Amino acid sequence: MIWNEVKECMSRDEMRELQGRRLHKVVDYVYHHTPFYRRKLQEMDITPDDIRTVEDIVKLPFTTKQDLRDNYPFGLQAAPQSEIIRIHASSGTTGNPTIVGYTRKDIGVWSECMARCLTSYGVGRGDIFSVAYGYGLFTGGLGVHYGVETLGAAVVPASTGNTEKHVRLLKDLGVTGIACTPSYALHLAETMEKMGVSRDETKLRVGAFGAEPWTENMRKEIEERLGIKAFNLYGLSEIMGPCVSYECSAQHNSHINEDHYLPEIVDPVTLEPLPYGQQGELVFTTLTKEGMPLLRYRTRDLTSLEDTPCSCGRTSVKMTKIVGRSDDMLIIRGINVFPSQVESVLLSMPECAPRYLLVVDRQDNLDTLTVQVEVRQEYFDQGFDTLTPITELEKKISARLKSVLSISAKVQVKAPNSLERSEGKSKFVIDNRNIR
Amino acid sequence: MTIHQLSVFIENKSGTLVKVLKLLKEEGIQLIASTIADTAEYGICRIICSQPSKAFEVLKAAGIAVTLTEVFAVELDDVPGRAADAIEIFANEGISIAYLYSFLLGGKGVLIFRTDNAEKAREVIVSRGLTVVPEKDLSKLL
């Protein structure tokens, strides 16, 4: 099924023509509403009239997460505050979260795009759909929620946590679809097994998974254990939230809602645009956004684009599986974590030395983060008659990490010089999850 | 009234305990009692030995996290129930034991412990007439 056949099945020429018109409009809009972009465009001697077709995009400046941080909280917002009806936030490396304000129209576009994703997965009226992404500042919960309502299916705002209660609801309500992180889906399957609830006792048949990388093997495992079809759902809060791209019945690569989010692939080093088929950094320009439109936003996700015809009938361009990041960001339980965030917490503690190791693992299908940190020689030299000061220190570090990262980390205090030092570039992160 | 105990921070890695004990061996320092409290990642090895001050200096010089702590050493008759009697005295006075271990020396039982209130523990030991073992006697008995 296709939610919006006009937009999702447009000919490539019509799409490019539409994108060109919308691109001109958004550049004109930010030129007159966002001093940040006006200054940038003026410095490059570009006026909105120079941007007429989609090919003109290469003339435009890039936007990075750092730009959002530097202009915290509302510096890149184009719409007046009186037009903003919702504000989301995602974690930032320096303690400054990224703030995204949405107008009523933005929420409408988001809901429409999300309804397209859900329809593509085979969800429709009469379905009962459980949203097990976190509700709150994170865009996952509310983003999918509004899409389900727009679609006309019944939404169960389960959010995360209390998995046993969730299993009961799935079973008792006859829930047919679910959205969550792929690792939570496996955790859910495990909880069901522990509770003695078999997959046949539920009516689950479809799942939308995203917010963290996952493999084909995980897909197979989720499909087998929950008895469902599992689809990829991609998005990022800076651009909108979940809804940017979605898999179709082909379950192979994700269609981009490119009438709203114009994708490009660029070389992450030279920033030169790369043709379809070549792998590079994914860049998005929001074509219709009012709250915080962004020009050429660098996602840091590495992927490639393809516009070969799809068996589902959609003509929109598809992005392949994300193969990595062009920065050092980790995605743990759906939350973005930068090693530099951990470092800034550790450096703020006089007991800690700037020597640490992050170990990311997956236990019982849930991501775990362990932070090993060496204490300073002066602290260590005072000696310890009991282990209490060390466990207290671990608790203190853990609490601070939790408040900055929004996820729990296990902290292990180490003796000075006990963490392995590698030759040359020190290794700060060990990711044992094997999700590539 | 108290004796000196070495508390050594030890990471749970093979070879760390051996390193500590070898350093003491090279200096001819003899262990009288020792115990290890451990977690998954590290432990504290507590040692009563001959020449504790020298042992402290030796370990410190080798870069080992060591501290010299004063602990109580109370002598008890080697008959069943004496430890219970002694600890009950402290419990009745509201003194908590942080850690405790015991060993036999010259036919007598010795309780080594640290409390959360050393001042009060001293008073109780004096008023209840408990026998404390002086540090010099420990080495003498070896």
Asked whether the beta carbons of residue A384 and residue B39 sit closer than 8 angstroms, the reply is no
- DSSP state letters, A10-71: --HHHHHHHHHHHHHHHHHHHHHH-HHHHHHHHHTT--GGG--SGGGGGGSPPB-HHHHHHT
**Quick one: tokens of A378?**
């002066």
Does residue A7 contact residue A311 with C-beta atoms inside 8 Å? no
Task: Tell me if chain A has a CB within 8 Å of the CB of B98.
Answer: yes
Contacts of A385 in chain B (CB under 8 A): 5, 7, 44, 46, 67, 69, 114
Q: Which of B9, B98, B99 sits opposite A384 (nearest CB)?
A: B9
The model carries a pTM of 0.70
For the stretch B42-53, what's the b/e string if a residue is b when 16 or more beta carbons lie within 10 angstroms of its beta carbon? bbbbbbbbbbbe
- Say if the Cβ atoms of A386 and B43 lie within 8 Å: no
Beta bridge partners of A370: A359, A410
| Residue A381 · residue B65 · CB < 8 Å | yes
Is B42 within 8 Å of A391 when comparing Cβ atoms? Answer: no
**A387:B66 CB<8 A:** no
Q: Pick the closest to residue A54 from A256, A276, A285, A300 (CA basis).
A: A285
Contacts of A391 in chain B (CB under 8 A): 39
Point out the residue among A383, A386, A415 whose CB comes nearest to the CB of B11: A415
- Chain A residue with Cα closest to B56: A383
For residues A228 and A200, what is the distance between their CA atoms, to the nearest angstrom? 10
Q: How confident is the model at residue A218 (pLDDT cuts 50, 70, 90)?
A: confident
Note whether A82 contacts B: Cβ–Cβ < 8 A.
Answer: no
| pLDDT, position A365 | 80
Q: What do you get for the CA distance between the two ends of chain A, in Å?
A: 31
Q: Do A412 and B41 touch (CB under 8 A)?
A: yes
For A394, the closest chain B residue by CA position comes to B41
Residue A12: which pLDDT band, with cuts at 50, 70 and 90? very high
The predicted-structure confidence for A138-156, as pLDDT tens digits, reads as follows: 999 999 999 999 999 999 9
Distances (CA, A) of A212 to A221, A284, A435: 16, 19, 10
pLDDT band at A424 (very low <50, low <70, confident <90, very high): very low
Closest residue of B to A414, CA-based? B11
Contact (CB, 8 A) for A336 and A327: no
Chain-centroid distance of CA A234 in Å reads 7
Provide the shortest C-alpha distance from residue A387 to chain B (in Å).
7
Kindly state whether B17 is in contact with chain A, defined as any CB-CB distance less than 8 angstroms.
no
Sheet arrangement for strand A410-414: A410-414, A366-375, A352-363, A429-431
Q: Percent of chain B beyond pLDDT 70?
A: 98
Q: What is the pLDDT of residues B11-61, one digit of tens each?
A: 888 888 999 999 999 999 999 999 998 877 888 999 999 999 999 999 999
Contacts of A413 in chain B (CB under 8 A): 41
Mean pLDDT of chain A, nearest integer: 92
Contact A277, A307 (CB under 8 A): no
Which of A41-45, A56-60, A216-220 is least confident? A216-220
Chain A / chain B CB contacts < 8 angstroms: 45
A391–B contact, CB cutoff 8 A: yes
Q: What is the 3-state secondary structure (H, E, C) of chain B?
A: CEEEEEEEEEECCCCHHHHHHHHHHHCCCCEEEEEEEECCCEEEEEEEECCHHHHHHHHHHCCCCEEEEEEEEEEEECCCCHHHHHHHHHHHCCCCEEEEEEEEECCEEEEEEEECCHHHHHHHHHHCCCEECCHHHHHHCC
Query: Per the CB < 8 Å rule, is B7 touching A385?
Result: yes
Residues 355-384 of A with CB under 8 A from B: 380-384
What is the structure's pLDDT at A116? 98
B77 in contact with A, Cβ within 8 Å = no
B30 touches chain A (CB under 8 A): no
The answer on pLDDT for A422 being more than 70 is: no
Closest CB to B11 among A382, A385, A418: A418
Q: How far is CA A428 from CA A33, A335, A342, in A?
A: 42, 19, 11
Interface predicted TM-score of the whole assembly (ipTM), two decimals: 0.81
pLDDT band for position A289 (cuts 50, 70, 90): very high
Residue type, A190: E
Closest chain B residue to the Cα of A386, Cα to Cα: B44
